[in-house]
Structure 1
Amino acid sequence: MTIDAWPPALVPQMIGRPDLRGSVTSGTRTTSGVEQRVYSGAGRWEFRYRIPVHTRAKVLAASAMMDRLRSGESIVLKIYDMQRAMGLDGDVPAATIAGAVSAGATSLTLASPTAEVEPGLHFSIGQRLYRINRVTDGAASETIPGVILSDDAAWDDELDWDDGGNVTVSFLPPLRAAASSGAAVTFEDLVCLADLKDVTEGDMDLDLGKFGTLSLTFVEAR
């Protein structure tokens, strides 16, 4: 079974930015100091949360969640990201995929996204998380085709607005599953299917039986 959603009572106080781990395999160094490194898409996300537990609702929610995680269940982890994508003109940032993409791909084209697409942003497809490392083609800002807008540019009401067109990005980790054309890409409600990294962590030592902090590390589920 899977915990379908992060308990809303457990809002983290300290949040480690998602990190990719295990993408590099390293051999031993030679006598001259040379080290061979092999890079692959075998890495997976790691997430670190510190959660204040100081109410009855939080203690109960944490206890129930830990029981399920320690019994082997995965969780659709809510990704708290203060540097998420900004929507164009106040829109909720979203996009769809332009053209089918196979599993293992590290680039895709977003069809007219309503977000300001930048390197370093996270997005989710289904229950998986990805991070953009390059914008290789297109722009997400609003333009008028064939016209460079400036203070002295002529206005032409006959021209149609273009919401930025398609944007091609490179990202990591490699796409976990094939995605069809038109599949939804979210920049807003970020999630990732994850497991508890160490089932022995997550003990709660509560001062006066009421106050404490829950420290958890999650890894992307396979």
Structure 2
Amino acid sequence: MLKARVCDPHLRNGFRSGGRSLSGIEQRVVSDASYWEVAVSGIKISKAEEALAYRAMIARLRDGEPMIMQVCDAYRPLGSKSSSTAVSLAASAALRATQVALNVTGAELMGGHYFSIGERLHQVKEVVSGPVAPPFLNQLATDSPWDDRIPWADAVAGTSLYTVTITPPLRAAAAAGTGASLSNLVLRCVLRDAADGDLELDLGRLGSPSLALVEDF
């Protein structure tokens, strides 16, 4: 498996501008027609199998084949690594919806968190409504009885209803009950430019290539 030191998704094309006038005024047209760009760098190449796997991957990408990119995020929601964590849409959402209702079991959702629906990546902009108190703080912020036998993580064992605004908009309509993931973050991508991803090997053996991927539609 190829591993990269940096794998960060960034939204692009959020607004258009005709530039600044001589007086310094700029008019921006903001839209939700943004797409993801993923900068991948520091890919470790030190073995023959790693070099061959990378060459094969780049060859397929340069032929226009999309790939499902695993997005790494060290700041995933608390509780999201548990096998009991589950996320699903609480209500149907239309194509290009920017607000969704989520049933979240076993995790605490906050603005800035990522989640995936199918092969599409989304980011929570704002939690419009959710638990009265953050689930992990319930035992500390309320007068509810304390039980030393219960781990703190049990405070999020129940299901909470969240209403959140997201970016980018949903890429497809989704029915109530559609599953989402807070831990297995994936994004369908293609190579941004055919010249990206060249592999240059030091002494013919060691390399650390970089490439840029963009969301595939």
TM-score, normalised on structure 1? 0.84
Q: Which residue of 1 aligns with 2:34?
A: 43
C-alpha displacement of 1:43:
1.2
**Alpha carbons of 1:221 and 1:189: their partners in 2 closer, same or farther (altered >3 Å)?**
same
The answer for the alignment partner of 2:124 in structure 1 is 132
Q: Whole-Å Cα distance in 1 between the matches of residues 185 and 2 of structure 2?
A: 16
Secondary structure at the counterpart of residue 54 of structure 2: helix
1: CA distance, partners of 2:57 / 2:81: 38
Q: Is the 8 A contact 2:191 2:213 kept in 1?
A: yes
Tell me the residue number matched to 1:19: 10
* 1:109–1:167 CA contact under 8 A, matched in 2: yes
- Decide whether aligned partners of structure 1 residues 78 and 89 sit closer, same or farther in structure 2, where only a CA change above 3 A counts: closer
Residues 5-49 of structure 1: CA deviation (Å, up to 9, x unaligned): xxxx1111233x311011111123233321111111111111111
1:113, distance to aligned residue in structure 2 (A): 3.3
**Pairing partner for 2:143 from 131, 137, 150:** 150
SS at match of 2:175: coil
Q: Is the 8 A contact 2:106 2:157 kept in 1?
A: no
- Deviation of 1:173 after TM superposition, in Å, equals 0.4
d(CA) in 2 for partners of 1:54, 1:102: 47
The runs of 5 or more residues in structure 2 that have no matched partner are 148-155
- Aligned-residue RMSD, C-alpha: 2.4
Cα distance in structure 2, aligned partners of 1:150 and 1:84:
28
Alignment partners' CA distance in 2, 1:214 and 1:89: 30
Counterpart of 2:15, as a letter, is: V
Q: Is the 8 A contact 2:16 2:29 kept in 1?
A: yes
1:117-176 deviations in Å (ceiling 9; x for gaps): 0111000000000000100001261799xxx8327x699xxxxx9825311111100111
- Given that 1:103 and 1:178 are in contact with CA atoms closer than 8 Å, whether structure 2 keeps it comes out as yes
Amino acid at match of 1:69: L
Aligned equivalent of 2:65, options 66, 73, 82: 73
Structure ranking higher in helix proportion? 2
Q: How does 1:1-222 map to 2 (within 5 A)?
A: 9-15=1-7, 17-50=8-41, 51-87=43-79, 90=82, 92-139=84-131, 141=135, 149-150=142-143, 163-222=158-217
**Partner Cα distance (2:80, 2:61) in 1:** 38
Deviations 1:34-92 (A, max 9, x none): 11111111111111111011111111110110110000101111101111122179555
Unaligned runs of 5+ in 1: 1-8, 156-160
CA distance in 2, matches of 1:41, 1:192: 18
TM-score of the superposition, structure 2-length normalised?
0.86
Identity of aligned residues (%): 35
